[in-house]
A and B are shown apart, each in its own frame.
Chain A
Amino acid sequence: MTLLFGALALLIALSSGFLGALLGLGGGIIMVPLLVFALGLPIHIAAGASIVAVVATSTASASVYMKDKVTNMRLGLFLALATTLGAVTGAGLTVGASEAALKIVFGGTLLYASGMMWNQMRSTGRSWVPRSNDHIAQRLSLGGSYYDAARQEEINYGLSRSLPAFVICYLAGIESGLLGVGGGGINMTAMNAVSGVPMKAAVATSNFMIGVTAATSTLVYIRHGFVDCFVTAPVVLGTLIGSFLGAQLALRVRGVVL
């Protein structure tokens, strides 16, 4: 390990942790390509570092979100059922011919969800429109409320299309287990675009879920020898700092900006 290498890894992690916490992603989707292309690491070592960093993003920003009670724990736990099951499935799947097929499925899901988000933003000018609970959400009281500091109002929300969101989160979990990312981008779009959870609550809740999901597969990664401590330690340190800052900022800006 050279000092320069460590510093670069720290810098990459700092920025991806910051963005990750801000957007409710694990930051892995930014970090893995950077580590591979900028530092020339093998992809499985980058994924190993990333999966630990995802837990770091989640934990460091969690304390910030929890103080402000934005995280919807009921919703988070309900969907974490799907993501952790997915993570176990993903970690258990052998990477083979099916990889291409999986990528197409994930890409399609992501496109579908971001398309819905885009439509909604164009038609309403907000990142979110109020919806009422569907019967699953009603039964499990998945809706919630929080105080929005940027808009200075109490926001209440319900959930529609809970079942599709649950299925999408299962896919996100598989992706996480396979690729060493948190699956946060997918969780977030599932909650926000499919079920109508306001952006900030979706970010904070997704943040909780990615930590749980990534923790499920971390030991599997270590077991396979994918976690290199000289890479992972600087990465985790950078992520901790970056995501703490990101979470602070996330509570102060409007959902549309994100």
Chain B
Amino acid sequence: MELIVSRMLNLGVIICGVTMVSGLTLIWFSGDASNPSGVLSIDWMLWGDPFLQPSHLIFMGFLILVAMPVMRVGTSVIIYVYERDWVYVTIAGIVLTILLAGMFLGIK
């Protein structure tokens, strides 16, 4: 199980790296001016026009990265359920809730 999580983390890091490198390269060569300031905003990401510019790729890289710790905590909940360790199912569950709540506060 830990091996699987470790592999997924590696994969996530690689995907994140690739999306960001390609995003940066595309911006560099195409002179993408959709987001000249470079500052990311969630509204612009979701409803920005034109959609799917190179900067979106970079943003997606960030999102994948941020999803990794969520995945780690999530899988640990599953591991403890599997081990019937209810104290830690609760602890990991609360951590996951706080984590997601923090993110939700960020989006809202």
- Chain A interface (Cβ within 8 Å of chain B)? 1, 3, 6, 52, 55-56, 58-60, 62-63, 66-67, 69, 73-74, 77-78, 80-81, 84-85, 87-88, 91-92, 140, 208, 211-212, 214-223, 225-234, 236-237, 240
Known: A56-B16, A56-B65, A63-B10. 20 other contacts (CB 8 A): A1-B27, A52-B66, A55-B65, A77-B92, A81-B98, A92-B105, A211-B68, A211-B72, A219-B103, A221-B106, A222-B42, A225-B39, A227-B40, A229-B35, A229-B59, A230-B27, A232-B62, A233-B58, A233-B61, A236-B62
Encoded as 1 (CB less than 8 Å from any A CB) or 0, chain B from 1 to 31 comes to 0110111011011001100110110011000
Q: How far is the CB of B53 from chain A (nearest CB, A)?
A: 11
In the docked arrangement, what's the CA distance between A212 and B68, Å?
9
**Residue B102 is within 8 A (CB to CB) of chain A in the complex:** yes
Residues A208 and B72 in contact, CB atoms below 8 Å apart: yes
Interface size on B, residues (CB 8 A): 51
Residues B37 and A228 in contact, CB atoms below 8 Å apart: yes
Residues B23 and A140 in contact, CB atoms below 8 Å apart: no
Residues on A with C-beta less than 8 A from B99 are 84, 212, 215-216
Instruction: Please give me the 8 A-B residue pairs with the lowest Cβ-Cβ distance, nearest first.
Output: A219-B106, A216-B102, A230-B38, A211-B69, A220-B106, A84-B98, A215-B69, A59-B68
